[in-house]
Amino acid sequence: MTSQTPPQIVDSHCHLDFPDFDGEHEALIARARAAGVTRMVTICTRLRHEPRVRAIAEAHEGVFYAAGTHPMSAAEEPMATVEELVALAAHPKFVGIGETGLDYHYTPDSAPVQQESLRIHIEAARRTGLPLIIHARDADADMARILTEEHRAGAYGCVMHCFSSGPELAQAALDLGFYLSMSGIAAFPKSAELRAIFAAAPLERILLETDSPYLAPPPFRGKRNEPAYTAHTAAKGAEVFGLSLADFAAATSANFDRLFAKAAA
């Protein structure tokens, strides 16, 4: 593989509808493709914004989307319904449910509402067969408990997006057959403990993402992140797993296709 043809990778989680990218979608996606990022999933975090997120996916080849209510917004947005999420899933480019989850770092006061919202999203993932996209921060015990309880009640697929929690939650997720997604955080110099968690996980359960515009990997840390930078996280991930970039890119892309089967089709 020559340097002119970078290995193809997937940005499994970005936020292309955020104002940071207004008017830049064509250039942004062109830069991503030049870096080998040929597919991306743009995530809607408030269901009232679903039409604009859908429009971005419809306008660009290789761009898919997912929608849900972010846990930090759960208390201020109308409660999603299973029926609403299932109806959205009929769109050919709608490939995942979320992001949903628990955030006790910024919004601990709304924990009960977050948990209710999370269970609604899980039921929608069950009914549609689409993967659940989980945001977890400072809520490891409740997150492991709810995901496990719900999985016993009926299986579903799931990715722990931008995984940066502890080893116990990682193991709980892996035990359920879920995936861990590696973001720019995994490439930060001080993230040795997080890299060790990824290194201990099966390669076939690892995805890549930017969470752009947030969490740019080195050498762009502190700047606006964008899908093209998935390539830098992929390079660090290849190092963590002791693989060539091409082999790591191929493995994580195959993982994406397995979990996000609708995008692969």
| CB distance 56 to 63 below 8 Å | yes
| Crossing angle between the packed helical segments 245-259 and 230-241, to the nearest 10 degrees | 110
Establish whether 161 is an annotated binding residue: yes
Per-residue CA distances from 161 to 33, 178, 192, 206, 224 (Å): 22, 11, 18, 10, 19
Establish whether 105 is an annotated binding residue: no
Establish whether 175 is an annotated binding residue: no
Q: What is the CA radius of gyration of the chain?
A: 17
Establish whether 13 is an annotated binding residue: yes
Establish whether 15 is an annotated binding residue: yes
Q: What gap in Å lies between CA 1 and CA 252, rounded to an integer?
A: 17
Q: What gap in Å lies between CA 261 and CA 265, rounded to an integer?
A: 6
Establish whether 84 is an annotated binding residue: no
- With tokens 């879920």, the residue in question is 178
| CB distance 123 to 86 below 8 Å | no
Nearest to 131 by CA among 62, 77, 180: 180
Strand partners, 133: 159
3-state SS, 77-146, equals CCCCCHHHHHHHCCCCCEEEEEEEEEECCCCHHHHHHHHHHHHHHHHHHHHHCCCEEEEEECCHHHHHHH
What SS3 state is found at 10?
A: strand
Annotated binding site: 13, 15, 99, 135, 161, 211
Annotated binding-site ranges for a divalent metal cation: 13, 15, 99, 135, 161, 211
